[in-house]
Amino acid sequence: MPTKTPLLDHLPEDWPGLLSSVKPVPAYRARQVARWVFRHNASEWEAMSDLPEDLRRAWAQRWDLSLPALLDEQVSRDGTRKLLLGLSDGARIEAVLIPRADRATLCVSSQVGCAIGCRFCRTADMGLVRNLTPGEVLGQIRIANRLLAERPFRDGSVDGVESPLLNRVNHIVFMGMGEPLANFDTLVRALKILTAPDGFALSPRRITVSTSGLAGRIRDLGESGIPVNLAVSLSAPTESLRGTLMPINVHHPIRAILDACRTYPLRNRQRITFEYVLLGGVNDSPDQSRQLARLLAPFRSKVNLIPFNPYQGSPFVRPEPERVLRFQSILLEKGVTATIRTTRGEDILGACGQLALDPALPSQKESSNWKTIDCSMPV
Ligand code: SAH
Ligand code: SF4
C-alpha cells in the first residue's frame, strides 16, 4: 500500500488528479473536499458528510489531512494567543495569533530553528533543525482558524466603534521562527495555496514575508507573481555594523539587498517595510538614524522600529523610550515613514519565532526576558 502523504502539500488545482489516482472522480468532488478543508477547517475525512463513504475511506488510506498537535496555548490579557505546535516527527514550532480591531493576524514559522545566526535573535541559538513543509506552514493557519471558529474574538471597542467578531485568520506574517526565503519552494507553494480562490482565498495584500535579506530570493519572490508585502530586516545603516550583527551581510550586503528591493514589484501605494531592531548603544544613535534616512530616501518604504526584546544570555539591551522616539523623529523629519512596533502579549511572553519548552533553554513561562514582538503592525 502506498504511504499516506499530506494533501495540503499540494496545490488545490492538483487535487482532482491526486484524488483520482486513488479512484477516478469528477472534478467537483475535489472542490467539495477543498471546501471542507479550507472553509470548514476539516481535518478528518469522516467529517465530509456530503461525500460518499467509500470515497472518503479510500482517500483516508492515501491522503493525510491531520493538523499539528496543539501542545500548549497561552492567552494574553490583550487577546494574543501563543500556540505551541508539535509536528509529526516531534519537532515543535510556534505560531502567534494577534487579534486587533478587524484583523486576526497569524505570525507563522517557516523553519524549525534558523541558520542565519543574527546576534540579537534567540532563534539563532537553535541553529537550523529543518525546513517546514507547505502542509506544516498551512497547518499553523488551519489550527488557528479552528480555534477562532470555536472561540471567536472581539477586540473591545476601538475609537468608540465596536470591532467585528473575528472567527478566521485574515492576515498572515512570516515573522515566526526561521528564514522564509531560505525555504523558498515551501514558501511559494504555501503562498499559492493561501491565495488560491479554491484554497484559503486570502488576498496577497494581507500577507507579509519578512526576510533577513537573501538578495537573489527577494528577486525570485518578486518574479513569482504573488504580490505579497515584503519586509526586510535591515537593523543597521552601514555594511560594517550590519556585518557584526547579521553574519549574512557577508554574502548579502546592504547594497545587494537594496538593489534586489528596487526590482520588487510594488502596486499603488504599496511600500517595502524595513525592519530595524533597535539595540541600545549599538545602532540607535541620532547619527545612525540620519544614515538610515539617507539610505532609504530613494525607496517607497516604511521603517518599522523594533525595540530589542532581551533574553537570557544576550549582550544587548533595549534602548530607553526617549532614544527610540528620537530615532523615529529624525527619520520622520527626513521624510521617511517610521513606526515603532508595539509589544503585544507581553504577559504570556508572546513572541514570534521563539522555541518554547526546549529543555536546553530556560522555560518560556519562567523567563521574563523573551523577545516579544507585535506582528500585527500594518506593513
Ligand atoms: N527571519 C526573518 C523573519 C523572522 S524574525 C527575518 O529575520 O526577517 C522577525 C523579526 O524579528 C525580524 O525583523 C528580526 O530582526 C526581529 N527580531 C529578531 N530578534 C529580535 C529581538 N530579540 N528583539 C526584537 N526583534 C527581534
Ligand atoms: Fe533567523 Fe530572522 Fe532570527 Fe535572523 S532574525 S536568526 S533570520 S529568525
**Ligand 1 pocket mutation, candidates 121, 282, 372, criterion most atoms within 8 A of CB:** 121
User: In this predicted structure, what is the pLDDT of residue 155?
Assistant: 80
Check residue 378 and give its pLDDT.
37
**In which band, very low, low, confident or very high, does the pLDDT at 348 lie, cut at 50, 70 and 90?**
low
Output the pLDDT for position 367.
32
Mean pLDDT of the residues in the chain: 90
Is the residue at 355 inside a domain? no
CATH number, domain of 98, equals 3.20.20.70
Atom 20, ligand 1: residue with shortest CA distance: 121
| Per-residue model confidence (pLDDT) at position 342 | 77
Does residue 21 lie in a domain region? yes
* pLDDT confidence of residue 355: 40
- Give the mean pLDDT of 108-137: 96
Q: Is 94 a catalytic residue?
A: yes
Element (H, E) at 138: helix 134-150
Predicted confidence band at 164 (pLDDT cuts at 50, 70, 90)? confident
Q: Which of 114, 121, 261, 352 is catalytic?
A: 352
CATH of the domain at 37: 1.10.150.530
Instruction: Return the higher-pLDDT residue of 357 and 26.
Output: 26
- Residue 181 sits at the vertex; the CA angle it makes with 118 and 80, to the nearest 5 degrees, is 70
Q: Quick check: is 239 catalytic?
A: no
Q: What is the DSSP track for 33-94?
A: HHIIIIIT----GGG-TTS-HHHHHHHHHHEE-PPPEEEEEEE-TTS-EEEEEE-TTS-EEE
Q: Are 319 and 209 contained in the same domain?
A: yes
Residue 353 placed within a domain: no
In the reported structure, the alpha carbon of residue 203 is separated from the centroid of ligand 1 by a whole-number distance in angstroms of 24
Give the per-residue pLDDT at 345.
64
CA-to-CA distance for 121 and 114, rounded, in angstroms? 10
Number of domains in the chain: 2
Contact 106, 147 (CB under 8 A): no
> pLDDT tens for residues 192-223?
999 999 999 999 999 999 999 999 999 999 99
Nearest ligand to the CA atom of 123 = 2
Pocket of ligand 1 (CB under 6 A): 120-121, 175, 179, 210-212, 233, 235, 275, 277, 306, 308-309, 353, 371, 373
Atom of ligand 2 nearest to the CA of 124: 6
Residue 361 lies in a domain: no
pLDDT confidence of 354, banded at 50, 70, 90? very low
Alpha-carbon span 293 to 274, nearest angstrom: 11
pLDDT (average), residues 151-158: 78
Note whether 59 and 182 are same-domain residues. Answer: no
Distance in Å, CA 311 to ligand 2 centroid: 15
Burial of 60 by CB count in 10 Å (0-12 exposed, 13-18 middle, 19+ buried)? middle
Give me the domain span that covers residue 277. 69-348
Joined together, the cell numbers standing for residue 68 give 499539528
Would 224 be classed as within a structural domain? yes
Among candidate residues 344, 364, 11, the one with its CA nearest the CA of residue 173: 344
Whole-structure pTM value? 0.93
Give distance in angstroms: CA of 241 to centre of ligand 2.
16
Angle between helices 184-195 and 134-150 (to 10 degrees): 40
**Local confidence band at 346 (pLDDT 50, 70, 90 cut-offs):** low
pLDDT digits (tens, 9 = 90+) for 79-92: 889 999 999 999 99
Q: Are residues 54 and 102 in the same domain?
A: no
Amino acid at 371: K
Query: CA of 300: how far to CAs of 14, 105, 252, 258, 331, in Å?
Result: 37, 24, 21, 12, 14
Inform me whether the pLDDT recorded for 331 exceeds 90. yes
Residue 51 and residue 160 share a domain: no
Mean pLDDT confidence for 49-61: 96
Tell me, what's the pLDDT at 2?
Answer: 58
- 371 confidence band (pLDDT: 50, 70, 90): very low
- Structural domain contains residue 374: no
**Band of the pLDDT at 361, cuts 50, 70, 90?**
very low
Q: Which of 220, 227, 215, 239 is nearest to 265 (CA)?
A: 227
Same domain, yes or no: 24 and 108: no
pLDDT at residue 161, rounded to an integer: 75
Q: Strands 103-107, 92-100: parallel, antiparallel or unpaired by DSSP?
A: antiparallel
Write down the pLDDT at residue 154: 82
Question: Does residue 367 lie in a domain region?
Answer: no
- Choice from 123, 183, 257, 341 to test ligand 2 binding pocket (greatest atom count within 8 A of CB): 123
Mean pLDDT calculated for residue range 296-316:
93
